[in-house]
Amino acid sequence: MAGSRDPEPHRVDDLHLAVALEGTGWHPASWREPGARPDELLTAGYWADQVLEAERGLLDLVTFEDTLGLQSAHPFAPDDRTDQVRGRLDSVLVAARIAPLTQSIGLIPTVVVTHTEPFHTSKAIATLDYVSGGRAGVRVRISGRPDEAALFGRREVTRLRLDDPGIDAEDGPMADLFDEAADYVEVIRRLWDSWEDDAEIRDAATGRFVDRDKLHYIDFEGRHFSVRGPSITPRPPQGQPIVSALAHRPIPYRLVGRSTDLGFVTPKDTTDARAIVARIRREQDAAGRADETVHVFGDLLVFLDDDTATATARKERLDETAGAELRSDARIFTGSAAELADLILDWHGADLSGVRLRPADHAHDLPRITGDLVPELQRRGAFRTRYEAGTLRGLLGLPRPANRYAA
């Protein structure tokens, strides 16, 4: 069977580690640090070095940030700053370029689903799954920025405001965008299944390359999309690449429970983590997915040093360079690898499958993650000492799903 590269089963409840890659790091002043390499941000070599470092640490996966508009200090509006990194490469193309250079780590680029087409995304991620040998995923992201809508000119988008008391309303603009995202995911999943695994015959003697009876129209009709299919790309090696999303609020939690394999969340402590996971499980049950595994990773923005005082001093110095204290949707951690390991294991005990770490400064914190944190977790018997699986689904302990259209 295509994609059956996993030599042995991996336990779904094992601790999982991921790294989120963004520019030179998640602190806006990180590009001014020694070793930051800002002049290489638009090169394949820079991104390959970050992913290869993460793979040396045996991490499950890396995610690549992406947006349709320029980076901004505001979540749903542009800014006019010139002292922070602006401009980026396309995350799907970066992942595809890096895939042949890596062997085991999962690759999850971000796709903004509000203004793009699910047909294009389905074949792009299926292609990534092929060129990586079954290690692809996608992080779906909505856009609540009118300036991004203006880049396409096809629709108007109400600007989302986190301070709007009605932001969580079931009939509000956030709910509409996330309902569209759920339909988007359903379409790409159906398109991945629109070819059966053995649809390609490739029999030169008989002249039969494909069995047309094993290609299927998906005939999706919804409020947001009308897609007939089938895809033009055969079913990916994993059958279904990993679908993920970042969630901070009840409506995004519903998308995670309803549509994804993996959710990234931003708890402040273990009690908050447990409550968020419980909310996602309720959404999962309501969607009829109680028997499926949906992983939930907690996000942490990390400053890793030998001790808390050194890490805190480095953060304060970067804040001074930036002219403002760092603020983040995720909890900010400053401390040693041993202290971070304590926190990660506490969160793992609070029902989180793992964590996604956001290095404040790639040049400093990513090597600390792979060189200090991972060995600390290994000493405690809490993290792998080798890659046990050859696909991302295998690393996450997820089975290869059956094709919904196969007889």
Which of 73-77, 294-298, 331-335 has the lowest average pLDDT? 73-77
pLDDT at 1: 38
pLDDT at 48: 98
pLDDT at 4: 41
pLDDT digits (tens, 9 = 90+) for 77-120: 899 999 999 999 999 999 999 999 999 999 999 999 999 999 99
pLDDT digits (tens, 9 = 90+) for 346-399: 999 999 999 999 999 999 999 999 999 999 999 999 999 999 999 999 999 999
- Residue 10's pLDDT band (boundaries 50, 70, 90)? low
pLDDT at 12: 66
- Residue 7's pLDDT band (boundaries 50, 70, 90)? very low
- Residue 185's pLDDT band (boundaries 50, 70, 90)? very high
pLDDT reading at 8 higher than 50: no
356: closest CA among 292, 96, 347, 104?
347
CA distance between the termini of the chain: 16
10 versus 164: the higher-pLDDT residue is 164
Q: How many Å apart are CA 38 and CA 34, to the nearest integer?
A: 10
User: What is the dihedral sign for C-alpha 193, 123, 101, 301?
Assistant: negative
- Residue 130's pLDDT band (boundaries 50, 70, 90)? very high
pLDDT digits (tens, 9 = 90+) for 253-273: 999 999 999 999 999 999 999
| Close Cβ partners of 223 (under 8 Å, ≥ 6 residues apart) | 179, 180, 183
pLDDT at 104: 98
pLDDT at 292: 96
- pLDDT (average), residues 117-134: 98
* Helix 270-286 × helix 250-259 angle, to 10°: 50
CATH code for 16-239+289-310+322-345+384-395? 3.20.20.30
- pLDDT (average), residues 48-66: 98
